[in-house]
């Protein structure tokens, strides 16, 4: 004859079974083991901890900042924002350039706002150089960037090279991964004389 269980015994047995099953379900609920190649592809993005985004303050640059933030959001990457003021050789690098400095400040301010909206940490750099591309490469090397994200101008004239001088230099000489983003033409009309 099967004995009758006591109420407190039922509660104790039920509590034990609930705890045991909770542990086992938690264990078996582990993310499915991915193929090594798949995991490698995912981790290759996870390791992007420092992303450099050069900006010129135009719409396509700011979209580049937004893209960089989304790429770095999951792993909490640091976004390095750079504005390079190209100083012509006719002027010393230290010459006062109030207008471009102001433009740089405004562009970086907008970019920082985008970065902060994602809860990431921005770091801003304003640099002066003769050739913007070389300065971006130098910045990438010195700040140990894992990735450079650049939005490039969408409108390319019939006689223009596809890549501007800056993006060409960066692509050729960057010490890290480079991602160029070119939007379709109707998205934005760039300001006259604007460069990437």
Partner 1 sequence: MSEPGASAIPADRRSVSAWGTFLGGQAAIGGNLFVALGLVIQASRGGAGFAFALSGLVFLLVGLAYVEMVTALPVAGGAQYFVLRGLGDFWGFIAGAALILDLTIGIALFATMTASYANTFAPVLLGIEASTLAVHLPVVGRFEWFWFAESLAVASSLVVANCRGLKEKARLNAAVGIATLVGLSVLVVAGFLFSWNAIAFVDTLHSDWRGLRGFGYGLSLSIISFVGLQTLALTAAECRRPAAVMPRPSIALILTTVLFALALPHLALGAAPPSVFGHGEAPLAVLAALVPSFGPALSSLISGLACAVLLASANSFLASVSRLAYSMGQYDSLGPWARQTHPRFHTPIKALAVFGALIAGELSLAFFWPGATPLEVLANMYAFGAMLAYSLAMIAVIRLRSMEPHLPRPYRVPISVSLALWGGRTPVPLLAIAALMGSLMLLGFVVATHEIGRIAGPGWILVCTGYYLMYRRSNGLPLFGSIRRDWPGEQVRLLRAADESDQADLYSRARALGAREGHP
Closest CA to 167 of 184, 183, 155, 149: 149
Q: Which is nearer to partner 1, 4 or 94 (CB)?
A: 4
Q: What values do phi and psi take at 73, rounded to 5?
A: -60, -45
Q: Is 35 in the site for partner 1 (CB under 8 A)?
A: no
Q: Is 13 in the site for partner 1 (CB under 8 A)?
A: yes
38-61 burial: b if 16+ Cβ within 10 Å, else e: eeeeeeeeeebebbbbbbbbbbbb
Q: Is 9 in the site for partner 1 (CB under 8 A)?
A: yes
What burial class does residue 17 get, using C-beta atoms within 10 Å of its C-beta: 0-12 exposed, 13-18 middle, 19+ buried? exposed
Question: With CB under 8 A as the contact rule, which of the stretches 21-29, 59-67, 115-123, 130-138 interacts with partner 1?
Answer: 21-29
- Report the C-alpha gap between 82 and 66 in whole angstroms: 14
Could you tell me where the beta strands, DSSP code E, fall in 87-186?
121-129, 147-152, 177-182
- Token pair in block for residue 176: 């890290």
Contact flags string 103-142 toward partner 1, x per CB under 8 A: ----------------------------------------
Q: Which is nearer to partner 1, 34 or 191 (CB)?
A: 34
Q: Is 38 in the site for partner 1 (CB under 8 A)?
A: no
Question: With CB under 8 A as the contact rule, which of the stretches 36-44, 54-62, 70-78, 106-114 interacts with partner 1?
Answer: 36-44
Instruction: In angstroms, give the least distance from the CB of 21 to partner 1.
Output: 10
- Token pair in block for residue 5: 């269980």
Residues near partner 1 (CB under 8 A): 1-3, 5-6, 8-10, 12-13, 16-17, 19-20, 23-24, 26-28, 30, 33-34, 36, 39-40, 43-44, 47, 144
């Amino acid at each position: 004859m099967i004995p009758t269980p006591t109420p407190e015994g039922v509660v104790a047995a039920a509590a034990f079974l609930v705890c045991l099953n909770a542990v086992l379900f938690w264990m078996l609920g582990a993310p499915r083991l991915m193929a090594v190649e798949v995991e490698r592809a995912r981790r290759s993005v996870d390791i992007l901890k420092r992303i450099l985004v050069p900006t010129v303050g135009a719409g396509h640059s700011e979209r580049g900042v937004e893209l960089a933030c989304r790429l770095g959001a999951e792993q909490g990457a640091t976004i390095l924002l750079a504005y390079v003021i190209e100083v012509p050789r006719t002027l010393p690098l230290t010459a006062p350039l109030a207008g471009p400095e102001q433009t740089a400040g405004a562009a970086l301010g907008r970019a920082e706002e985008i970065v902060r909206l994602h809860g990431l940490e921005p770091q801003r750099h304003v640099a002066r150089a003769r050739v913007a591309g070389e300065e971006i490469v130098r910045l990438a090397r010195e700040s140990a960037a894992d990735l450079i994200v650049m939005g490039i101008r969408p409108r390319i004239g019939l006689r223009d090279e596809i890549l501007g001088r800056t993006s060409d230099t960066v692509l050729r000489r960057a010490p890290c991964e480079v991602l160029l983003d070119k939007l379709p033409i109707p998205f934005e009309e760039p300001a006259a004389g604007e460069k990437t």
